[in-house]
């Protein structure tokens, strides 16, 4: 398993060379497919977070990457958006893309650049499962709990396995029990958990035969840019319906959490 320094170097190199949806997404499936996948992510985020009254809110987007969710916070009417990323490659480009917002190089497991209870809301999207060190993973929840004000909102995406944990070099898929326990210890209650994707991503919480079969199909379907675009366009129509009709997902889910009021 990669060390924290190795992970940072991995993402620095990856985002420096590919600052697009495929750079931050499922790279093996190519940019055309990822572009369709992110349309589903966008619809789910806007639908779920749009239910909250966060207009004019002060927001932290931790692990901003390309700024995809920074732009969605803008669309939802956030008053002030601050972003951070562990890589210089992302921070420098984010500052150019969003000159009216503040961006700093900061790891989500630290967040010491920010004041206690300094934000009404925070998001940490498609980041946490890339933290392979368990201590840093727990520290990320504590850091987010420190910077979000009591009564504030945290929005994350996670894989929430109800099967055994899966550990890889650059990703760890943790159990729903682990995630819920650490969120609780950091002062958060899970308000809502919904599918963010269904078929357009690795089926990490499905049986091994299905995971391998579907993964092989996706890689074959996206072997060229044109076929990847077509596969994405077709699955987009399916996934955007499935995420509305299902309560749980075999892949990435969106969680809305509320920071408990202090005693």
Instruction: Render pLDDT for 172-229 as a digit per residue (tens, 0 to 9).
Output: 999 999 999 999 999 999 999 999 999 999 999 999 999 999 999 999 999 999 999 9
Output the average pLDDT for the chain.
Answer: 91
Taking residues 47-69, what's their average pLDDT? Answer: 94
Taking residues 49-72, what's their average pLDDT? Answer: 94
DSSP assignment, residue 175?
B
Backbone angles phi, psi at 106, to 5 degrees: -160, 135
Find the length of the chain.
Answer: 263
Taking residues 89-106, what's their average pLDDT? Answer: 94
CA dist., res. 229 & res. 150, Å (int): 43
Tokens of 86: 């562990």
pLDDT of 5 higher than 90 = no
pLDDT of 50 higher than 60 = yes
Q: In this structure, are residues 149 and 118 in contact, taking their beta carbons and an 8 Å threshold?
A: yes
Model confidence over 142-175: pLDDT tens digits? 999 999 999 999 999 999 999 999 999 889 999 9
Q: 5-14: which pairs have CB atoms within 8 A and are 24 or more residues apart? A: 7/130, 7/131, 7/132, 7/170, 8/86, 8/87, 8/107, 10/170, 11/86, 11/87, 11/130, 12/87, 12/88, 12/89
CA dist., res. 109 & res. 70, Å (int): 19
- Band of residue 27 on the pLDDT scale cut at 50, 70, 90: confident
- What is the H or E stretch that residue 256 is in? strand 253-259
| E-state strands within 106-237 | 119-124, 148-158, 166-167, 172-173, 188-195
Domain segments of the chain: what residues? 4-259
- The dihedral built from the CA positions of residue 243, 248, 250 and 251, taken in this order, carries a sign that is positive
% pLDDT > 90, the chain: 82
Q: What pLDDT sits at residue 262?
A: 75
Q: What pLDDT sits at residue 187?
A: 97
Burial degree of 215 (CB within 10 A; 0-12, 13-18, 19+): middle
DSSP 220-255: HHTSSHHHHHHHHHHHHHHHHHHHHH-S--SS-EEE
> What CATH homologous superfamily does 4-259 map to?
Vaccinia Virus protein VP39 (3.40.50.150)
For residue 150, the tally of other CB atoms under 10 A from its CB is 13
């Amino acid at each position: 398993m990669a060390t924290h320094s190795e992970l940072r170097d991995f993402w620095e190199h990856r985002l420096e060379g590919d600052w697009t949806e495929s750079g931050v997404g499922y790279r093996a499936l190519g940019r055309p497919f990822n572009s369709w996948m992110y349309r589903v992510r966008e619809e789910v985020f806007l639908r779920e977070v749009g239910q909250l009254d966060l207009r004019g809110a002060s927001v932290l987007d931790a692990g901003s990457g390309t700024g995809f969710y920074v732009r969605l916070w803008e669309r939802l009417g956030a008053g002030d958006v601050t972003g951070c990323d562990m890589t210089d490659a992302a921070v420098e480009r984010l500052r150019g893309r969003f000159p009216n917002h503040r961006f700093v190089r900061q790891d989500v497991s630290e967040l010491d650049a920010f004041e206690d209870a300094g934000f009404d809301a925070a998001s940490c999207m498609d980041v946490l499962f890339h933290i392979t060190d368990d201590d840093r993973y727990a520290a990320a929840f504590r850091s987010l709990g420190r910077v979000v004000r009591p009564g504030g909102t945290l929005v994350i995406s996670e894989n929430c396995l109800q099967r055994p944990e899966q550990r890889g070099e650059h990703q760890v898929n943790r159990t729903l029990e682990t995630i819920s326990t650490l969120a609780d210890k950091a002062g958060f209650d899970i308000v809502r958990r919904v599918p963010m994707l269904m078929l357009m991503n690795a089926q990490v919480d499905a049986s091994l035969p299905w995971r391998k079969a579907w993964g092989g199909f996706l890689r074959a379907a996206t072997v060229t840019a044109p076929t990847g675009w077509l596969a994405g366009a077709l699955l987009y129509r399916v996934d955007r319906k499935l995420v509305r009709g299902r309560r749980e997902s075999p892949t990435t889910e969106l969680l809305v959490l509320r920071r408990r009021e202090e005693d």
